Amino acid sequence: MQSKPKIMVRMNRDDLRMLPVASRKHKLQIDAIAVSPTAPMPELSAGVAAQVAVCAEQVREARAAGRPVMLTYGAHLIKNGLSPVVIALMKGGWLTHVATNGAGSIHDWEFALGGLSTEDVRANTAAGCFGTWDETGRYINMAVAAGGLDDLGYGASVGRFISEDGVVIPSRRDLAAIASMTGSREQAERAAAAADLLTLSYTLGIDGGAQRVSHRRKETSVQCAAWDLDIPFTVHPGIGYDIIYTHPANIGGAIGRGAVVDFLSFAQSVSELTGGVHLAVGSAVMAPMIFEKALSMANNRALAEGRPIVHDHSLVVVDIQEGGDWDWSAGEPPMDHPAYYLRFCKTFYRMGGTLSYACLDNTHFMTALLRELEPLA
């Protein structure tokens, strides 16, 4: 006799009150924090300046040889107003892949929408309104779900949504027809994406058509620039980490699908990293975790095909955690050295290539790197 399935008691997000993002007291305005790509070189210590100069030379050599340069960053890079600097690096041809976490995508989208982002987490959590912003949850979830039907990842879906000021969603009838087509693996995958988008259409009460959203400050968006420049932009979220999960429009299958597409895109870029550079800026957990899995996958495939594993790559880690003046070329530090507890550095050190750790504010690093690569006239 088949046992009765157990159903976990769970919160119904339909019971939550979503608020217009315009009613939020914003802590950041893009016009007040944006760092100009023409800003002069910041003052750095001799040691750190030398590290940045070496990194710039590694980037120059990699791009001259047609090798990739990847940038993976945490959300504070966007909250520190560095999107114009990242966009300048992309437009200059210096970056071939950009990656961030879910919060990095969200702040980027909110700045693109109206130039405002960030809230008082302590006060708003106590008031039950932290992260309950309708437009942010509605449109990012919509963008990712709609992108899944076109086999786009999370980052590209949001980038397209910003660039095109919305998205066109098929009718429920058309989505139901696609969801019924399961004659092959490819059809089944697209059917699942259609079913998720169909669920979202019922949740939001929309039956297809153009869903238009004016992004008044899209020129500030890294995701939008990446879409327009055809540069891979990947988002690597954690379920429940970000405010979009509070919204009823959040569909787990759609987010998971977009995130997996992005991880596989990231892994493909890592597989081509021989002679290239990977920059991890302000991402102590996400960046090393996705990199180590991606590199193992890349090497697995290379060995199966009789090719060399990824080698001769440069790994540059930038953070503000003190770790002492440890030379990572000498190996892992002993347990009595502060650098031993820089877990992210140890992970990257084990990834082969050469590792450099710069204990530096990301604003200073990014602006100094841009100035080294593109000096002011």
> For residue 326, what pLDDT is reported?
82
> For residue 3, what pLDDT is reported?
78
Domain assignment present for 15: no
Beta strands in 238-337 (DSSP E): 277-281, 314-319
Beta strands in 47-159 (DSSP E): 69-73, 97-100, 116-117
What is the domain extent for residue 364? 27-113+120-373
> For residue 12, what pLDDT is reported?
95
> For residue 324, what pLDDT is reported?
67
The DSSP call for residue 257 is H
Task: Report the interhelical angle of 154-163 vs 222-229 (nearest 10°).
Answer: 90
Contacts of 87 (CB under 8 A, 6+ apart): 37, 222, 225
Domain assignment present for 299: yes
Give the bridge partners for 167, in sequence order. Answer: 211
Domain assignment present for 12: no
Q: Is 42 helix (H, G, I), strand (E, B) or coil?
A: coil
CATH code at position 303: 3.40.50.10690
Tell me which residues of the chain have a pLDDT lower than 70: 1, 324, 377
Q: Is 318 helix (H, G, I), strand (E, B) or coil?
A: strand
Nearest to 211 by CA among 176, 171, 175, 251: 171
> For residue 322, what pLDDT is reported?
84
Domain assignment present for 10: no
> For residue 316, what pLDDT is reported?
96
Domain assignment present for 297: yes
Tell me the pLDDT tens digit for each residue of 40-89: 989 999 999 999 999 999 999 999 999 999 999 999 999 999 999 999 99
pTM for the complete prediction?
Answer: 0.96
Total structural domains in the chain? Answer: 1
Query: Given its phi and psi angles, is residue 282 left (phi above 0), alpha (psi -120 to 50 degrees) or beta?
Result: left
Q: Using alpha carbons only, what angle is made at residue 91 by residues 222 and 48, rounded to the nearest 5 degrees? A: 80
Domain assignment present for 16: no
> For residue 323, what pLDDT is reported?
74
**What is the rounded distance in angstroms from the CA atom of residue 24 to the CA atom of residue 172?**
33
> For residue 89, what pLDDT is reported?
98
Domain assignment present for 202: yes
Tell me the pLDDT tens digit for each residue of 96-152: 999 999 999 999 999 999 999 999 999 999 999 999 999 999 999 999 999 999 999
Domain assignment present for 213: yes
Beta strands in the chain (DSSP E): 28-29, 69-73, 97-100, 116-117, 166-169, 209-212, 233-235, 277-281, 314-319, 354-359
Q: Which tokens go with 164?
A: 């095109």
